Amino acid sequence: MQIAPIIAAQLPFLRRYARALTGSQLSGDAYVAAALETLVADPSLFPTDIEPRVAVYEVFTRIWSSVRVNMESADPGGLSGNRTLEALAPRSRQVFLLVSVEGFSTSDTARILGISEDEVTQAIDETGRELAGLVATDVLIIEDEPIIAMDLEALVESLGHRVAGVARTQKEAVALASKSQPGLVLADIQLADGSSGLDAVNDILNEFEVPVIFITAYPERLLTGERPEPVFLISKPFQTQTVKAIVSQALFFGTRAHKRPARATA
């Protein structure tokens, strides 16, 4: 089996998972790079008896759990020991992301993490209780589709947060953000009047820092490996659990967004 094309197909999604897990593009990408380097050095580590996507995440988990990476000294492209230890999430959070964000089944998640299915179920419950204790915040929704906007409003409120407003255009988004100073932004990419959600977010970030979750039907256009990239991303059509997981993770880590080029569209 040629593993290179298998891994290449999963890289955008593996980077998404790693970034959500660490709360940092730098840390997440460093773990993915370490996994790739390990496989290049020893291709026999790639399991061939299971579904390829599960195999990719299983290998990544081995690297994530390894002392060699976790305790690696600081360098310009790597992870410092302290930064890594601070970013490490408990097993329950790994389970929550694998099931709710990456869409793995309970059995596949158990295989990836090397635990039982009962432990997976228990971890999901524990993480749900932990994330439910997050401090409520005001959320700005930038979305031009009324039905999708209504769904996002309901989900945000079900998590105990407040909706600061819903903007359909770049101009509306910037005005609402300036007025409400939200603690989180959910941003679609392509808006009603042809304006860009990316431009809207960049304008908002010129005023203040805030975690941003991008929403797009074409995540591969944003997950290109070029910097800066969104740490948190929701693909359309989205699942309820996915939105809840990403919102909770973004607020848990308090990750601040960085301005990115407005050339990408979706």
Look up the CATH number of the domain holding residue 154.
3.40.50.2300
161 lies in the same domain as 105: no
The reply to whether 196 falls in a domain is: yes
The answer to whether 233 and 213 are in contact (CB under 8 A) is yes
Asked whether residue 231 falls in the same domain as residue 188, the answer is yes
Query: Are 140 and 98 in a shared domain?
Result: no
CA distance 130 to 117: 20
Question: What is the predicted pLDDT for the residue at 107?
Answer: 93
pLDDT band at 158 (very low <50, low <70, confident <90, very high): confident
In a domain, 25, yes or no: yes
119's tokens: 């432990």
Averaged pLDDT for residues 168-179 = 95
CATH code, 88:
1.20.140.160
Among 130, 147, 182, give the residue marking a domain's end.
Answer: 130
Provide the domain count of the chain: 2
Are residue 26 and residue 94 in the same domain, yes or no? yes
Least confident window among 76-80, 211-215, 221-225:
76-80
Q: Which two tokens stand for residue 18?
A: 């790693």
Average pLDDT taken over every residue of the chain: 79
> Does the residue 245 lie in any domain?
yes
pTM: 0.60
Give the domain range for residue 199. 134-253
Q: Which long-range contacts (CB under 8 A, 24 or more apart) does 102-110 make?
A: 102/13, 102/17, 102/57, 103/239, 103/242, 104/54, 104/57, 108/51, 108/54
Average pLDDT value for residue range 120-135: 69
Query: What is the percent of the chain where pLDDT is above 90?
Result: 29
- The confidence score (pLDDT) of residue 80 equals 37
The predicted pLDDT at position 234 comes to 83
Considering the domain boundaries, does residue 106 fall inside one? Answer: yes
Is residue 249 in a domain? yes
Q: Answer whether residue 112 shows pLDDT above 80.
A: yes
pLDDT at 64 exceeding the cut of 90? no
Confidence (pLDDT) at 179: 95
Whether 16 and 9 have beta carbons less than 8 Å apart is answered as: no
